[in-house]
């Protein structure tokens, strides 16, 4: 009973997030069905994208997947092969953001719900830097580290469309101290990589948040219109973020 409550407190992931990892396993010649079985995830759950999987179970699956594929960078590999629109409930709203700042607002609105395992937060860093944190309710581990890698890489990929292909965060912190260094990865090259604390985060110049994404084609907008979250941001959230920005030392 206590274990069930602990799993609930850790939040949930949508089952629709797992097929990306299953596809990667298949591409590496790894028996993905065997990995599902070892981690206790039923195949029929994976076929129900909106089903909720306890975060500890989801991260346990990803950890088993990493061990089977002999990699600590699966989340990065998955991100590089993934379009943001494929990322469950969060991807399409983020693609509709007009600026980097609006992207952050939407991430906070959509992800920061009681059942979600991943929450975003914004805090003031030093030297006119803004820090976006990826907060999880579980201790850092190999499985959750893949989700952090995927989140960071997908974010950088999208922001480069507004900030230029050479753009990189000033610093990136990954809470899990992986043995495999990330400095050589193109998507993270040029950023200072650190490992500290229990929360992963990225820091970047505050003025970068004002950059505008290129206008998307009408065909792309119409294709995703049925899935887009068109509801306005909650006023309380907007007010809170505005207060944060007003408090920054510009």
Q: Find the radius of gyration of the CA atoms of the chain.
A: 18
The tens place of each residue's pLDDT in the chain, 250 residues long, gives 444 444 447 899 989 999 999 999 999 999 999 999 999 999 999 999 989 999 999 999 999 999 999 999 999 999 999 999 988 778 899 999 999 999 999 998 887 777 888 889 999 877 889 999 998 888 999 999 999 999 999 999 999 999 999 999 999 999 999 888 887 799 999 999 999 999 999 999 999 999 999 986 544 554 544 444 444 444 444 444 444 444 443 3
- Cα separation, 247 vs 250, in Å, equals 9
- pTM summary value: 0.83
pLDDT confidence of residue 117: 87
Return the number of other C-beta atoms located less than 10 Å from residue 58's C-beta.
27
Q: Are 15 and 3 in contact (CB under 8 A)?
A: no
pLDDT at res. 233: 43
State the pLDDT at residue 217: 52
Phi and psi angles of residue 68, each rounded to the nearest 5 degrees, phi first: -65, -35
| Residue 161 pLDDT | 97
Contacts 24+ apart (CB under 8 A), 72-75: 72/142, 72/145, 72/178, 72/179, 72/180, 73/149, 73/178, 73/180, 73/182, 73/185, 74/21, 74/24, 74/146, 74/149, 75/145, 75/146, 75/147, 75/148, 75/149, 75/150, 75/153
What backbone torsions phi and psi does residue 133 show, to the nearest 5 degrees? -105, 145
Encoding tokens for residue 206? 């505050």
Q: What residues form DSSP beta bridges with 131?
A: 123, 203
Kindly list the domain boundaries of the chain, sorted by start residue. Answer: 2-80, 88-247
Q: Which of 136, 172, 158 is nearest to 211 (CA)?
A: 158
- Alpha carbon distance 89, 13 (integer Å): 11
DSSP secondary structure, 38-60, as one string? HHT--HHHHT-TT-EEEHHHHHH
């Amino acid at each position: 009973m206590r274990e069930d409550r602990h799993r609930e407190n850790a939040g949930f992931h949508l089952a629709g997030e797992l097929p990306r990892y299953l596809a990667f396993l298949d591409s590496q010649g790894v028996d993905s069905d065997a990995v599902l079985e070892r981690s206790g995830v039923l195949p029929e759950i994976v076929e129900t994208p909106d089903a909720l999987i306890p975060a500890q179970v989801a991260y346990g699956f990803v950890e088993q997947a990493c061990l089977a594929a002999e990699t600590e960078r699966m989340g990065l590999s998955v991100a590089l092969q993934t379009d943001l629109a494929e990322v469950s409930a969060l991807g399409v709203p983020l693609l509709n953001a007009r600026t980097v700042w609006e992207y952050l607002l939407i991430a906070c609105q959509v992800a920061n719900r009681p059942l979600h395992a991943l929450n975003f937060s914004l805090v003031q860093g030093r030297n006119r830097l803004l820090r976006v944190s990826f907060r999880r309710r579980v201790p850092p581990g190999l499985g959750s580290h893949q989700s952090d890698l995927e989140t960071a890489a997908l974010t950088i990929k999208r922001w480069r469309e507004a900030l230029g292909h050479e753009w990189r965060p000033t610093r990136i912190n990954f809470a899990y101290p992986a043995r495999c260094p990330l400095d050589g990865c193109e998507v993270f090259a040029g950023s200072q990589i650190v490992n500290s604390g229990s929360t992963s985060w990225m820091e970047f110049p505050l003025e970068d948040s004002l950059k505008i994404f290129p206008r998307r084609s009408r065909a792309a907008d119409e294709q995703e219109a049925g899935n887009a979250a068109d509801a306005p941001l909650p006023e309380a959230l907007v007010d809170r973020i505005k207060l944060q920005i007003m408090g920054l030392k510009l």
